[in-house]
Amino acid sequence: MIPHVLVIDDNADLTEDIRELFEDTGARVSVFANPDEAEAFVKTDPYDLALVDVRLPTRSGLAMLPRLRQGSPDGEIIVMTGAASVHSAMEAVRHGVHAYLKKPFDPADLLKLADRALSQVSLRRERRLLSRELARSEALHRAVIDTVGSLIIGVDEQHRVQLWNESAAQITGWRASEAHGRDVCELLLPDGSRGPLHELTSEAQAGASGEARVPVRTRDGEERVVHWHVRPLIPDTAGGPMVLLSGTDLTERLELEARAASSEAMAAMGRLTSALAHEIRNPLNAATLQLELMRRSAAKAGHEGVLRRAEIVTAEIKRLSSLLDDFLGLARPKHFSMEGVNVVEIAEHVHALHEPSAREAGLECRLVVRGEVPRIEADEGRLKQALINLLVNAIEATTGRGTGVELEVGASDDAITLRVLDDGPGLPHGRRVLEAFETTKEGGTGLGLPIVTRIAEMHGGTLVIGPRSDGPGTEAVITLPLEGPAKAMRPLP
């Protein structure tokens, strides 16, 4: 780059000598005798080196130094004077000039000084460029880190968070400003567990990379399964992060996989049960028929004992047959008849059916209807079955461990809700109760809730089961859309 030298001096002979001297070195030279003109000029054409005489026609060259600096913040200034004084030398130093040169001077000395000043200028320019480049690359790096979907966390040697990207904030619920400076394990594993994540971080400090699947807890107490890669960073003297943890949130993927596996299992079971049901029903029918004949002849002959046993066997066969129905309920239902139904009547029917057994178990069994509930298109029999499954679960869970159950029917603008509440012990910990065969009951099939889910889905609706929000116990809610299940009905797998 060609250096630009600005000369401000009213001694025309001297300025011409200086011009020649610097033009010989390849520099561009601008000369001014008038300070005002010089000031106006630097606003549009900054200098690299300014040579300023102290005594100028209208004012002191020292007085113009601040303006000159503004015009060219990277430039250097050399002050020249024929009448050196301690005062003006101090003034020049105060303005941070590069040198204070007494006239007359040796041109070689001036060139030497100028050379030093210009190399300072180019160093300063380079530094400014580099720091601009650094800021740009930092902004780019920050933007990349913030746009990736993985959690990216940097920690220092005490495992304290130094870097926390946008995904980490979104997934965990902790903002970067809140996470900064906190122990990463204490933040993500609030039981303070010094488990695999802590070990991986310590190992990374010693230089070894590693990975592990470690569930973390979000700010709301939700658990997310995260696969972590932990690796050392090149330590920097500024005390930045030493270990980088990058995590992929697998929660949704694992749930999808589990759901896919469960519907695959369900479909396979459907095929199996349809075939089995056919084979089992015939002998069951024959057995029931034979039993009925046996019961009649026993009654005729007055064999009370045989009669009682025949009844027990009949009841057991009935149970077996209804178990078969349950299995079939999970397979593609053959008779799915949609008609306009009154959900309140369905709820009343189910309530009337189970209220006596609840009372016998010492439980209060209430039916609550909230507001107007419109008729909907639904399969009455299956809705009854769904409500019975939920109510029986509630009664079974609450017997001896709570005071009552409640069946509640209500409607919003776009859906009907059927709610079964109890004040029992709540759902068993760590069990996926909506999955087939998940049961805590001796003799339970674990098919009750999957069947309810299936029925809700057939109506385009959902089943949600979880802890009650207003106290101890469980709440199961079937939501059925009003806009016509035919439209909302999901295709069956």
- Binding residues for ligand ATP, per CB under 6 A? 389, 393-394, 397, 422, 424, 426-428, 433, 438-441, 444-449, 474
For Mg ion, give the closer residue by CB, 404 or 448: 448
Q: How far is the CB of 356 from Mg ion (least distance, A)?
A: 19
Instruction: Scan residues 304-333 and list those touching Mg ion (CB under 5 A).
Output: none
Alpha-carbon distance 326 to 492, whole Å?
17
Closest CB 143 distance from ligand ATP, rounded Å: 47
The SS3 call for residue 59 is: coil
Q: Out of ligand ATP, Mg ion, none, which partner does residue 397 contact, by CB within 5 to 8 A per kind?
A: ligand ATP
Please name the residues in contact with 155: beta carbons below 8 A apart, sequence gap of 6 or more. 161, 162, 184, 201, 241, 242, 243, 245
Q: What is the dihedral of CA 362, 363, 364, 366, to 10 degrees?
A: -140
Q: With respect to ligand ATP, which residue has the nearer C-beta, 39 or 435?
A: 435
In what order do the strands lie in the sheet containing 223-232? 161-164, 151-155, 243-249, 223-232, 210-217
d(CA 395, CA 405): 7
Q: Which does 357 bind (CB under 5 to 8 A by kind): Mg ion, ligand ATP, none?
A: none
Residue (143 or 323) nearer to Mg ion, CB: 323
Q: How far is the CB of 450 from ligand ATP (least distance, A)?
A: 6
Q: Which does 422 bind (CB under 5 to 8 A by kind): ligand ATP, Mg ion, none?
A: ligand ATP
Q: How far apart are CA 325 and CA 280, in angstroms?
A: 12
Q: Is 29 helix (H, G, I), strand (E, B) or coil?
A: strand
Compare residues 321 and 445 and give the one whose CB is closer to Mg ion. Answer: 445
Helix, strand, coil % over all residues of the chain, rounded to 5: 50, 20, 30
With tokens 């029999």, the residue in question is: 381
Query: What are the distances in angstroms from CA 209 to CA 206, 359, 362?
Result: 9, 63, 61
Q: With H, G, I as helix, E, B as strand and everything else as coil, classify residue 245.
A: strand
| Of residues 310 and 449, the one with the C-beta less far from ligand ATP | 449
Minimum distance, C-beta of residue 457 to ligand ATP, in the bound complex (Å): 15
Question: CB 11: neighbour CB atoms within 10 A?
Answer: 15
In angstroms, the CA 165 to CA 176 distance is 7
**Contact of residue 366 among ligand ATP, Mg ion, none (CB under 5-8 Å per partner type):** none
- Give least dist CB 181 to ligand ATP, A: 43
CB of 449 to Mg ion, least distance (A): 7
User: What are the tokens at 226?
Assistant: 């995260």
**Chain residue whose CB lies nearest Mg ion:** 448
**Minimum distance of ligand ATP from residue 434's CB (angstroms):** 8
Binding partner selected for residue 241 from ligand ATP, Mg ion, none, CB under the kind-specific 5 to 8 Å limit: none
Q: Where are the beta strands (DSSP E) in 209-277?
A: 210-217, 223-232, 243-249
Q: Which residues contact 416 (CB under 8 A, 6 or more apart)?
A: 343, 373, 374, 376, 409, 410, 479, 480, 482
**Least CB distance to ligand ATP at residue 387 (A):** 12
Would you say 448 or 461 has its CB closer to Mg ion? 448
Q: What angle do CA 23, 24, 28 make, to 5 degrees?
A: 20
C-alpha–C-alpha distance, residues 281 and 262, integer Å? 27
Q: Which does 441 bind (CB under 5 to 8 A by kind): ligand ATP, Mg ion, none?
A: ligand ATP
Number of residues that bind Mg ion (CB under 5 A): 2
What is the contact mask toward Mg ion in residues 407 to 446, using x (rule: CB under 5 A)? ----------------------------------------
Closer CB to ligand ATP, residue 202 or residue 399?
399
Measured from the CB atom, the residue of 99 and 449 that comes closer to ligand ATP is 449
**Minimum distance between the CB of residue 326 and ligand ATP, rounded to whole angstroms?**
7
- List helix spans (H) across 45-99: 65-71, 86-94
Check binding of 385 to Mg ion (CB under 5 A): no
**Cβ 262 to Mg ion shortest distance, Å:** 17
Among 448, 450, 461, 473, binds Mg ion (CB under 5 A): 448
247/448 with CB nearer Mg ion:
448
Nearer to ligand ATP by Cβ, of 71 and 424: the residue is: 424
Q: Which of 366, 429, 431, 370 is nearest to 394 (CA)?
A: 366
Paired sense of beta strands 161-164 and 76-81, if any: unpaired
Q: How far is the CB of 143 from Mg ion (least distance, A)?
A: 52
Picked from Mg ion, ligand ATP, none, the partner binding residue 167 (CB below 5 to 8 A depending on kind) is none
Which lies closer to ligand ATP via its Cβ, residue 132 or residue 401?
401
CB of 343 to ligand ATP, least distance (A): 20
Phi (first) and psi of residue 371, to 5 degrees: 70, -165
Instruction: Determine if 398 is a binding residue for Mg ion (CB under 5 A).
Output: no
Neighbouring-strand partners of residue 364: 404
Residue number with CB closer to ligand ATP (204 or 397): 397
393 binds Mg ion (CB under 5 A): yes
Positions touching Mg ion (CB under 5 A) are 393, 448
